[in-house]
Every structure is written in C-alpha cells, then in structure tokens.
Amino acid sequence: MDTSQYMSMFLEESMENLQTLNESLLELEQNPEDIDKLNEIFRVAHTIKGMAATMGFTQMAELTHKMEDILSEFREGKLKVTEKVVTVLFTCLDTLEKMVNNISEGNSEEIPIEKILHDLHTMAEIGDSPKAQEKVNNCNEKISCDVNEKVILNEYDINVIKQAIEKLFNVYEVQIDLSESTLLKAARAFLIFKSLEEDGEIIKSIPGAEDLESENFEFKISLIYITKKEKAEVVEMLLNISEVENVTVEPVDVKNNSQDLTKKMGDFKEIEKVPQVNTVVTKNNATVDDKSKKKETTHKKAHQSVRVDLERLDKFMNMVSELVIHRTRLEQISSVHKLTDLNETIEQVARSTSELQELVMKIRMLPLEVVFNRFPRMIRDLSKELDKEMELVIKGQETEIDRTVIDEIGEPLLHLLRNAADHGIEPSEVRISKGKSPIGKISLIAYAEGTKAIIKVMDDGAGLDVKRITQKANEVGINTDGMTEADIKNLIFAQGFSTNDKVTDISGRGVGMDVVKTKIAALGGTVDATSEIDKGTSFIITLPLTLQIIQALLVKIGNETMAISLGYIDRVIDYKAELIKKTSNKEVIVYNDSIIPLVRVNERMEIEAIENTHKYIVIVKVGEKTVGLLVDSLLGQQEIVIKPLGKTLQGLKEYIGATILGDGLVTLILDVAALV
C-alpha cells in the first residue's frame, strides 16, 4: 500500500496527539482519580499506535503498545499514578517525538528503545494481578468469551457509567453482526469504532482492541457505548456502514450484569429505572421500536474543517494584499479625476476587500495555546532537575495572533521561562526564610491590546540585582554612568551578557536573552524587564497581532514620504519651538507634566529638512518608553501592506519594510522600536 499521500497527515496528527498526551499526563499526575482524563489518554495512545502500525512504523507502534499496558493497569486499579510511573511515560513520549521528527526529516536512524521497554515492563509487573492474567488467558483460548453474553462490567466500568448517567448521557450495550463475507474484519471494526467515537465513547468491547486488530474474532462485536444520541440514531449510523448485517442496541442494566459490584457501589436506582426495551434492526427489515415512527434524520457532515497547506494560505494573503493596493489606487484615480459615477462601485469594492482582508487575517490567526501548551511539561522537568518547587500559571492562551508570529515566539518564551526557573525562583528553604510560599510561582499571561498582543512572563523570585548587573556590565566594558535603574535592568538583553558565573545546561552562557530581544525586534515587537528585589521579575513582550496589513500614519520627512504604524502612536501635537528644552545635552519636550525625549527623524535618517513648514511631533510609545518624533508634515492615515525589503536592504535597521501607495509610490515604513 502506498502510504506517501497520508504521510503529512500522519506527522501532523502524531505531533498533535503527543502534545495532548503530554498535557493530559500532567493533569493526571495532579488528579490521579480523574477517570475522564485516563480515558482520554488511553484513547489518544491507541490512536497513535493504530496510525503508526498502519504507516508501517513498527518500533513506534511497539512502544505505544507497551504504554497502553501501563495505562490499562491504571484503568483497572492495579497500578497507582505516581511521579515515577509518569516520568517513565514522559520519557516514552519524548522518544516517540524523536521518532516522529526523524520520520519528518527522512532520517532512518534507529532510536534505541530497549531500556524504555524494560522500564515499562518493570512498571507493568508491579501492578500485575495473576488472577486477572489467568482470566485474560482463558478468554484468549476460546474466543467465544461469548459475545452473545452480556459484557461483564467491573467496578471501574460501573463508576464510569454512573458518572455518565449523572451527566445525562445514554449508556447502551451494542451488539453488531458483520456479514460473513467480510474480508477485512479489522478495517470494518475500525470504521465502526471511528463512527461511534465521533458522537460518544466506547468504554469496553468484546473482543478487545488487540483481537480486533489481529482479526482474532468471529463476525460479532459487543461493546458498551456512552453517547448523547438516541437508540434509533445509533442504529441508523451503524447500519450505514457497509458489511454490517445486524445491530442490537439496549440500555445497560448494571444490576443484572454485575450484581456483586452493584451492591458495593451502593444503591444504583437511576440505572435500574431504565426501561428494558430492545432495539433490533436488520438491513432487510429497517424498523426501530414498535411505537416509534419513521423519521427523517439529517446527518451532520463528518468533515467540518479542512487542513490547508501553509504556502497556499500565504499566497492567498499576498493576493489579498495586492487587492488592497489596487483598491487604494482606484480610490486615488477616482478622487483626482472626480469620477463620481465610479464612487458607488469603488465603495462596494472597498467594503468587499476589507471583509476579505479581515477574513484572511482571521484564517491566519492561531491561539497562543499552540505555543503555551508545551511549557507546563518543561517547568515540571526543570522543577525536578533544579530541585526547586515551582508551578506555572497560564492565562489568556486563547489570545490569537498571526501564524508568522506564533512560529517565531516559542524560542524567546522558552528562554524567558528557563531563566525564571533558574535565576528567578529560589530554593524552597531560601523562600521560606524570606517569608514566601515554598512553591515558586511563574506566570505566563497573554492578552490583546488594540493592534498589539501583550505577553507577560512573571516570577515571584529574587528579582534583578541592579548592583550585580552594574558590576558585571563594568567587567565586560559597558559604561553605566548616567543610566537609570530601568536601563541597567535592561542590560541583561545585551549580547553575551550573563550574571550567572556557573555555566549549566539551563543558562549561564549569555546567549539566551539577546536571542529574546533580537527575535522579538525582528517581529516588530519590544521586550522590557521590570523587577523588584525579592518580589520578582516581569518581562513584558509587545507584539503586532498581524505582520501583513496595518493601519499607518503617512508623514513627510524632508521630501520623503514615510509610514509609521498606528499601533505605536499615542498622539500627534503641533510643534512649537518653546516646547523644546535641553537636558544632559539632549532635546526633550515637556508635555502634560511629562518630560519626553525628542528625536529629529530627518537628522537620524540624514535627510535634509524642509524649512518654513508647519511641523508636528508624533508621540510614540514603545513598551515602557515614550518618545516624540519630529516630522515635517502629515499626509493622513491609510491602510498599508507591508512588503519585505529583500536581501540587499535587509541590513537597514530603521525600517521594517516598504509599502506601495495608491499613486504607485514606494514608501518606507519606519521601525519605531529601532528609532527609540
């Protein structure tokens, strides 16, 4: 079978499933009694195993199969969820991730899994129950464990059913007869399970998953199914699958199924009340219950979303960007030639273009959750490695930003969180001596603010030691004279700067924080550090929500037209010579009782200023800093498309790109963060 066409889907879904397992295992470690979470983990692990086996990756399937053994023992209560067991399972996940990466990169290198398999086997043996094993063996010897009999429920199953009924779910015992001419029984069973799991959950089946996969069963399948759907809908759904001959659906009667266990569980009256009405349907005689009338049911389509190649999405975005440029050009031609007949059409084109642009922006947006969800596991591992107690609090992970930003923001956040764990959070005994909680708290908070996304990485640790930073700065030849305390704190972003004398795997080489600054600046964002001794440190990252189309203010600097992103602009004021003062040989303006540094943009850009024009001061805010930019005139606000400058001009730090205006003029977009 040619599996190449399914490879990208396999890789993508495997990474998603591994991430889900990481998150779910963390939650299970916190709440070992969470049955729903355990079910979810089991289901996802089984999916990975099935996909790997189908694609022919036997090593991956074998490892996941061993993981399932451990998870089965959790479910049956033979093995307790402990830190040791979870750590072994995490090692499994890391190995599976390496395997997926190798497959993705076309690397055929074998990853040794003997030690992990041995660890898993050892863990599984801890929870082995000889009686349970004997029962399984007997069942394997005579496949009949007769599927026509009722599925035997254990205490765990009854617990799940009880919870389901409390949540107003329907619980059915479903018996399915396949046609005796069925050639691929395993494939048919897979389709049956897939269809059922779209609208519910299968908690038990006879035969078991392994027998179904290896086709070690006759033509009958019995299972316990939890769903919100009615009996008739379940029956109809199953009969729509080819080679399914007969379907019997009946509500589960826990009392008759396992009387002893029911007594232990207490009075289970709500389940006993379920009326015992069988629903038997065959394809030749499609009747459902005596009293029920034939109803037309509309099926919800299985595929409510599609996967789109990112290159296509980028191309779509570029085409919309071109459309925005042509719209602006049309508007300009219409106003210059006073073509009033065109106005209405141009307005409609403008409206449609705006809606299309808004739509493509939303399609490109992704929640920060896709980046944030890998950090809880990282903090757990760092906590063990550094022998410090710490917790990670995440808020605002639903905040959406452009996919390009999402791709790039992971690494800076990783550095900031590792730094908070290593430098910020103190050991428990030190924290207790300072009167703090022994458990250090690291917070990762995100929210949207206008056209910007704000991400904060905060810890309640030792804080930044200004004296230490000053001393280190002087050692490496940085002059700190005349610097404010805030400026000194921000020196930690200087290249190669580290206050850690000891180099570890986690930090101390001085290559982390300058990467943070550089990456965020490349995204058109800023990062600032604020700190208080023994209270903690906060890193505030400001990012544009999107990098393609922005609202901008067009200004004249000398004879040049330039654009400034509205996201940075606080306000615009008239220039008056008396506003300007000098302090420490630098120009400032006094506005609203605040002293704001002034930047003469024409001097910075080495452009000749125009005399005798009405000048303006554009007050911009970058992070915590406010600066006034002196420009020669204003040309108004416009929606512009950011075009990269290309390789030849990419060294120009003062510009984030260029745009094409309605009259065809190419205009540079100022990088306000670099100017400030």
CATH of the domain at 49: 1.20.120.160
Beta strands in 210-354 (DSSP E): 220-227, 244-251, 279-282
Q: Are 388 and 528 found together in one domain?
A: yes
Of 259-263, 379-383, 409-413, 664-668, where does mean pLDDT reach its minimum? 259-263
**Termini Cα distance of the chain:** 60
Of 200, 192, 198, 238, residue with least CA distance to 217: 192
Structural domain includes residue 82 = yes
Q: Are 445 and 565 found together in one domain?
A: no
What percent of the chain has pLDDT above 70?
A: 82
Q: Are 352 and 424 found together in one domain?
A: no
What is the rounded CA–CA span in Å between residue 499 and residue 608?
Answer: 44
419 is catalytic: yes
From 318, 333, 366, the end of a domain falls on 366
- Mean pLDDT (whole number) for 410-434: 89
409 has pLDDT over 60? yes
| CA 282 to each of CA 316, 366, 467: distance values in angstroms, whole numbers, following the listed order | 49, 46, 82
State residue 27's pLDDT score. 86
CA angle 581, 585, 589 (to 5 degrees): 25
- Mean pLDDT (whole number) for 351-359: 84
273 has pLDDT over 70? no
Of 176, 187, 239, residue with least CA distance to 215: 187
- Tell me the two tokens of residue 563: 């654009």
The helix (run of H) or strand (run of E) holding residue 395 is: strand 390-395
Domain CATH for 163? 3.30.70.1110
Give the SS3 label for residue 556. Answer: strand
Segment 40-83, tens digit of pLDDT: 888 888 888 888 887 888 888 888 888 888 888 877 777 788 88
Task: Convert 312-348 to b/e letters by CB count within 10 Å (16 or more is b).
Answer: eeeebbeebbebbbebbebbeebeeeeeeebeeebee
Domain CATH for 349? 1.10.287
Cα dihedral 305/306/310/315 (nearest 10): -100
Structural domain includes residue 381 = yes
By the 8 A CB rule, do 491 and 588 touch?
no
Prior bond to 367 cis, omega within 30? no
Instruction: State the alpha helices, DSSP H only, in 76-113.
Output: 83-105
Q: Are 381 and 338 found together in one domain?
A: no
| CA 503 to each of CA 376, 449, 500, 510, 516: distance values in angstroms, whole numbers, following the listed order | 24, 38, 7, 9, 19
By the 8 A CB rule, do 204 and 243 touch?
no
Of 169-173, 211-215, 228-232, where does mean pLDDT reach its minimum? 211-215
CB atoms within 10 A of CB 541: 24
Structural domain includes residue 559 = yes
State residue 327's pLDDT score. 82
Q: Are 573 and 644 found together in one domain?
A: yes
Q: How confident is the model at residue 290 (pLDDT cuts 50, 70, 90)?
A: very low
Segment 602-616, tens digit of pLDDT: 888 888 877 777 888
Q: Are 48 and 108 found together in one domain?
A: yes
Of 173-177, 585-589, 630-634, where does mean pLDDT reach its minimum? 585-589
Catalytic residue, candidates 419, 426, 490, 602: 419
From 523, 544, 565, the end of a domain falls on 544
DSSP for 568-623, please give it: TEEEEEE--GGGEEEETTEEEEEETTEEEEEEEHHHHHT-PPPTTS--EEEEEEET
Q: How confident is the model at residue 579 (pLDDT cuts 50, 70, 90)?
A: confident
Structural domain includes residue 338 = yes
Beta pairing class for 279-282 and 220-227: unpaired
Q: How confident is the model at residue 218 (pLDDT cuts 50, 70, 90)?
A: confident
DSSP state of 643: B
State residue 504's pLDDT score. 52
Q: Are 479 and 576 found together in one domain?
A: no
585 has pLDDT over 50? yes
Domains contained in the chain, number:
5
| CA 614 to each of CA 338, 609, 628: distance values in angstroms, whole numbers, following the listed order | 28, 12, 16
Of 427-436, 495-504, 548-557, where does mean pLDDT reach its minimum? 495-504
Cα dihedral 116/120/121/124 (nearest 10): 180
Structural domain includes residue 304 = no
Structural domain includes residue 298 = no
Segment 83-130, tens digit of pLDDT: 888 888 888 888 888 888 888 888 777 788 888 888 777 776 665 444
Q: How far is CA 615 from the centre of its chain?
A: 47
186 has pLDDT over 50? yes
Catalytic residue, candidates 40, 68, 236, 408: 68
Of 176-180, 226-230, 659-663, where does mean pLDDT reach its minimum? 659-663
Contacts of 324 (CB under 8 A, 6+ apart): 353, 357, 549, 639, 641
- Mean pLDDT (whole number) for 381-410: 88
- Tell me the two tokens of residue 357: 């642009």
- Tell me the two tokens of residue 226: 């939890």
Q: Are 217 and 357 found together in one domain?
A: no
By the 8 A CB rule, do 368 and 394 touch?
no
Of 99-113, 278-292, 615-629, where does mean pLDDT reach its minimum? 278-292
What percent of the chain has pLDDT above 90?
A: 4
Domain of 212, in residue numbers: 142-282
Contacts of 120 (CB under 8 A, 6+ apart): 66, 67, 69, 70, 88, 92
Q: Are 484 and 532 found together in one domain?
A: yes
Domain CATH for 490? 3.30.565.10
Q: Are 76 and 175 found together in one domain?
A: no
Give the SS3 label for residue 112. Answer: coil
Structural domain includes residue 200 = yes
What is the rounded CA–CA span in Å between residue 470 and residue 465?
Answer: 9
394 has pLDDT over 90? yes
Q: How confident is the model at residue 509 (pLDDT cuts 50, 70, 90)?
A: very low
Indicate the burial class of 168 (C-beta count within 10 angstroms; 0-12, 13-18, 19 or more).
exposed
State residue 602's pLDDT score. 84
Structural domain includes residue 636 = yes
Catalytic residue, candidates 22, 40, 46, 426: 46
For 503, what's the count of Cα atoms within 13 Å in the CB-facing half-sphere? 6
What is the rounded CA–CA span in Å between residue 45 and residue 123?
Answer: 17
Q: Are 392 and 360 found together in one domain?
A: no
What is the rounded CA–CA span in Å between residue 321 and residue 313?
Answer: 12
Q: Are 384 and 511 found together in one domain?
A: yes
DSSP state of 284: S
pTM value is 0.58
- Mean pLDDT (whole number) for 153-174: 81
From 544, 575, 606, the end of a domain falls on 544
- Tell me the two tokens of residue 408: 């790039």
Higher-scoring residue by pLDDT: 289, 142: 289
Q: How far is CA 620 from the centre of its chain?
A: 32
- Tell me the two tokens of residue 432: 């207790």
68 is catalytic: yes
State residue 392's pLDDT score. 92
